[in-house]
Structure 1
Amino acid sequence: MSWIETLGELTAISVSTVDDGIGLVTLNRPERLNAITSTMIDELERVVSAVDGDPELRVVILTGAGRGFCAGLDLESAGTAPGAEQVRPTVAGFMWQDHLATLHERIHRSRKPWIAAVNGPCVGGGFALALACDIRTASPAASFGAVFLKIGVSNCDMGTSYFLPRLVGASRSAELLLTARIFGADEADRIGLLSALDDDPVERALETARLIAANAPFGTWMTKETMWQTLDAPSLRHALDIENRTQIMCSANGDIVEARRAFAEKRPPRWGGL
């Protein structure tokens, strides 16, 4: 059963397979600039589980329907966290906060690379969602910003205080978080937040996804996992130990033998999957 078949009915997002091993997930509330609701979070959580459980799926592209990527939390109809209906307000608030944040962590920890194709406004929780992805492309119409401060709470939310400094540096991150200003796609590209700026960010993301999908599945998973883990490593020695462990694991599953055979026979490798 494919990853799409396991998902059941979806109302806040849509999914499709756009190429061999490449899935497209579209936030599908264009009338609200794809603002986040509890339903959308639940459905995206199901998507992460589905794509991680499908050995044929190699890469996920995340984008938004209509003219925006995601305008952040829908303040008019956000909903509640599962199980929070009959608990005290403080507990309910913490459950909702954890409900939001866990999704971003799950995308970051997914076994498959995620590419955000940002086609318009990408702010608040939408900005955090794009930061949680491994790679970001954007159109010139895209705009970005952590704007939680505008509603009186900390701008460090849903992983922004973790992801943003690692992507653009601490000093620049501090300026963006403390001012809560909106910035355009050109600046996002200039500061290194994007891998590509293109009129069609989904097509550009698809080009990147095809390059990723051509590589060994297990090696790709281990590359993503190791890169992010060593970014948090306290020393070079810790990073090397993680890399060494990973290389031995990858060397043991037969892909390296197939790669050598394919090179000798002058053909693309036929990877064995996960």
Structure 2
Amino acid sequence: MKLKLGIAVLLVLAGLTGTAQAADKQLPQANETTCSAAGQQRPAGMRLAWHDEFGGRTVDRRSWSTVMDFPGRAGGHYHNTSYGSYAVDRNVVLSGGKLRLVTDNKPVTGTDPAGTYQYTEGFISSHDKFFQQYGYWEICAKFPAGKGLWPAFWLIPQDRSWPPEIDVAEWFGSIGSMHSGLASGTWPDVRWDSHWATGPAPTTGWHRYGLLWTADRITFTVDGVPTSTITGDQVPDKPMYVVLNSGTWANADRGGPPDATTPFPNSFDVDYVRVYSAR
């Protein structure tokens, strides 16, 4: 496995701009049967507008960027002080037909913004590459288990405004809970409509995490089953794009940051991302 991982990371480095050497620790395997084995689940009345099955050797630069471009970030590779991790290109790995967004505990000296960061993460977004108003958005994924881990699938407006933000599947490892929800309003008067689900299922198997978004309604789903719905004027009406990232929580709340029990390296594994639009 270590040899295969090394080859995969070198291939990623050939297609990305990262300069650090590949992680030399062994990642857990991610070759289990995934939710894509059942075939494409096309929503009624919709067409596939954009997707990535991650079958290549490097991340597709026509679809993805590894630099952050949204309000609230401190730089192109660091979100803000809620995070303990700095995004580096070497942590974006394609292996075995899957995207693996790695989190590791090797400190790194960053330049954007400048500083030393205890952890590294993998980050990709479709900003300027793909964005859409409404539709059905879905990933097939398996989340890592461990204290302080904070991987997520979320949507941000293409126009660089905030809020809104739609968190489709946001895993907090310290409390073993999945968050889905909507941030709306105007900064600093931000409203959160949130749903929490507690339990280890996201880390023990592959599941489909979806969002059905229309003009006045948001419905979150897991494996096609609705888990929560938001209605009202706070539902956004502007085009949004996909963000996928791993990473660590830095604050003392929500169970706190990683500790000696957290396994490193670990990865947020994604089999596919698919976005549908109305016909």
TM-score of the superposed pair, with normalisation by structure 1: 0.29
Structure having greater relative contact order (Cα 8 Å, sep ≥ 6)? 2
TM-score (norm 2): 0.29
Bigger proportion of residues as strand: 2
More helix by share: 1
